[in-house]
Structure 1
Amino acid sequence: METLDSSDTGRIVSQERGHGGSGVNIKLLLMLVVVAILLASVALVVALISLTQNGHGGGEARVTITGQEGSDSKQDKIWNIATGHMTSNNIYIDQPSGQLKGFNVDLINAVCRLANKNCRLVYDVWQRCWDSEKGQLPMGGVGLMSGWYDACAGWIKGHTRARTFQFSKPWQKPVNYHFIVQTGNPRGFNPTDVTNVTFGFVDGFINDEFCLARQTSITGSTLSTSQIQHYPQPTDMFNAVLSGEVDVCIAVGNNLPTGLTRLEDPAMDCPLDASGGGLMLRMDNPLLEWWDPALERLIQTSEYHEICQDIIEEHGHMPGRDPKDRCFGY
């Protein structure tokens, strides 16, 4: 067995220490390489996120947030507009095609096309836009309040409605409302004093008992509950006057059923700010940011005049107001 002297021992110890130092350096080098790779990976991820947010990366296009729009500002959003008034040239169902047609349909399509927006007109009963019941204040309908759609079409800005909803600029002239009685006024209705007179009203319509109460020149205009009857449709209200169930009702008075007549005076101004029909929507909906500017532009064009002319040419088989009574500029 070979023996080592003191000098050999020192030499071996020194070599072992040299090999140990070299191992530490290699580990340190590997750790630095790993850290460098991690830092490079993080930098790459950050760069990709930045590119994507600026519209230069893959995946979905960047969503621009303006005002209160939030995620609703996506260009592919479908704006749902509800309508339920389907008894005139304003809006009706074309039976052969099953499609909604009328002045409101034509105008809504034109505004959405001008604004480059995707719109869809949907049907719902109007009480889900705005409702009222005998003896109670009118209220927002469950459909519009719950956000089933973005807006309801053809609604007039009224005193009670303005406390709950916002309104677009109107696209129709305002109307006045009149007392409607049996032809010949056999009950001797006095339009200046309605004390003890019974009235018929339609659920959700602006020509209601609260409009009558604002007519301070008419004696007894604030009605008691016993003087009020509510009906689901205008035809039901008119039939109630014809049958004598109620003495009188309040309506525009165009195309009345046979047996009823309109008393010209007084003419009641039920809308707020002399407003005509437009969109009614929740206070937090951003639709008006693009709708009102597009509507104003449309009304200044020949297309608006053509849409008004189609009230006669395309929808003339339906009852309702004609262009000079409905449209601006006539």
Structure 2
Amino acid sequence: MATLESSDTGRILAQGRGSGVNKLLQMLVVVAILLSSVALVVALISLTQNGDTTMVTLTKQEGSNVKNDRIWNIRMGNGRSNYIYIDQTSGQLKGFIVDIVNAVCQLANKDCRLVYDISQHCWESEKGQIPRGGIGLMSEWYDACAAWIPAHSRARTFKFSKSFSKPVDFRFAIKTGNPRGFNPTDVTNMKFGFVDGWINDEFCLARQTSIKGSTLPVSQIQHYDTYDDMLNAVLSGEVDACISYGTRDILPGLTELEDPVLDCSMDASGPGLMMRMDNPLLEWWDPALTRLIQTSEYWEICQNVKDKHGHMPGRDPKELCIGY
């Protein structure tokens, strides 16, 4: 039968004593932490009651110093006016809405990237068909398309931000001298040109119930890829008229009629951002835009329409800027 030597007994006793000491130390550390936490809570309550400190709520706020960890892609087009254009020297997008988008993103402290794409990838239409969402916005190639106006058809698919400029006036544009005998109160048998995906389309014309013949048959509708293509079709006589976009950006040889002013928007809103229903961009964009319009920076952007972008055709600050 095995027996314990004296040395074995001493070793076991020593281990027991060591284990007890360790447990005691652990208990003391836990007690110390608890006492420190209680002391900190008491101190904070005291300071708050005495009014000696400002409590800070760590919530995600517009204008926060902490950037969201994502990039916000905003699609831009080439409007060929001071509203938006591609600078031929630098190759960069410039214009009023570029300045607006950059300022809003900076104010909200968001990392925004401007993405160029054709307008049909935001909103698409073909003659004889109901307009629909473009593949770029529907497939989330970008978060929003800039400078789009709410329309009844668009509101079925997308949501819109607040406007960052005044509403646009839409008017008939015809060849100077009116060689086709265009009558703005009766467009029966008149052939019209429209830009694929733009708000000034055949559905806008159909809503002008005071104009005779405003609901066009397919035979009187012609769609074009760009605004210039549409204007050139009027100039060449391929179509009788078009609805200009209100930028005063008319080719030589064309005349924009002063009356009537056509109502193409859903609620008389000006251009803003158009995006998918599930996109969270509006959570920070609209508050930041509201703040921007109330600052002197907005007026500087408006002044830059003449100072920086005055070499391009388009509307002046009084026609463009909210509250001007």
| 1:260-311 residue CA offsets vs partner (Å, 9 max, x unmatched) | 1122221101011111111000000010010000000000000000001001
Distance 2:59 2:120 in 1: 33
Shift of 1:74: 7.3
Distance 2:135 2:186 in 1: 36
Matched residue SS, 1:265:
coil
Distance 2:92 2:182 in 1: 42
CA contact (8 A) 1:181 1:262 kept: yes
Query: Are 1:163 and 2:147 matched, yes or no?
Result: no
Distance 2:68 2:228 in 1: 42
Partner of 2:16: none
Partner of 1:145: 138
Distance 2:282 2:188 in 1: 43
Report the aligned-residue RMSD: 2.7
Query: Are 1:194 and 2:187 matched, yes or no?
Result: yes
Shift of 1:252: 3.4
| 1:35-75 residue CA offsets vs partner (Å, 9 max, x unmatched) | xxxxxxxxxxxxxxxxxxxxxxxxxxxxx998xxxxxx972
Scaled by the length of structure 1, the TM-score of the pair is 0.77
Distance 1:144 1:232 in 2: 18
Distance 2:201 2:131 in 1: 9
Q: Which AA in structure 1 matches 2:276?
A: R
CA contact (8 A) 2:148 2:271 kept: yes
Partner of 1:262: 256
Task: Write out aligned runs for 1:1-330 (5 A).
Answer: 75-252=68-245, 254-330=248-324
Distance 1:213 1:65 in 2: 48
Partner of 1:6: none
Shift of 1:152: 0.5
Distance 1:244 1:235 in 2: 14
Distance 2:188 2:86 in 1: 41
Matched residue SS, 2:190:
coil
Shift of 1:96: 2.5
Matched residue SS, 2:267:
helix
Distance 1:128 1:208 in 2: 17
**In the comparison of the two structures, how many residue pairs are matched?**
276
Q: Which AA in structure 2 matches 1:314?
A: K
Distance 2:150 2:78 in 1: 16
Distance 1:101 1:235 in 2: 19
CA contact (8 A) 2:77 2:85 kept: no
CA contact (8 A) 1:152 1:280 kept: yes
Distance 2:318 2:67 in 1: 38
Hey, which bits of structure 1, 4+ residues long, moved more than 4 A? none
| 1:192-244 residue CA offsets vs partner (Å, 9 max, x unmatched) | 11111111001111000000000111111111000000001111111111111
Partner of 2:23: none
Scaled by the length of structure 2, the TM-score of the pair is 0.79
Matched residue SS, 2:147:
strand
Shift of 1:110: 0.7
Distance 1:105 1:187 in 2: 39
Matched residue SS, 1:273:
coil
Distance 1:118 1:212 in 2: 39
Percent identity, aligned pairs only, is 70
- Where does the alignment leave 5 or more consecutive residues of structure 1 unmatched? 1-11, 16-32, 34-63, 67-72
Q: Which AA in structure 1 matches 2:207?
A: R
Distance 2:135 2:245 in 1: 27
Q: Which AA in structure 1 matches 2:303?
A: Q
CA contact (8 A) 1:175 1:269 kept: no
* Greater displacement, 291-300 / 176-185: 176-185
Distance 2:90 2:233 in 1: 34
- Where does the alignment leave 5 or more consecutive residues of structure 2 unmatched? 3-18, 20-57, 61-65
Distance 2:313 2:284 in 1: 32
Partner of 1:48: none
Q: Which AA in structure 1 matches 2:270?
A: G
Shift of 1:320: 1.1
Distance 2:157 2:210 in 1: 28
Shift of 1:180: 1.0
Q: Which AA in structure 2 matches 1:257?
A: L
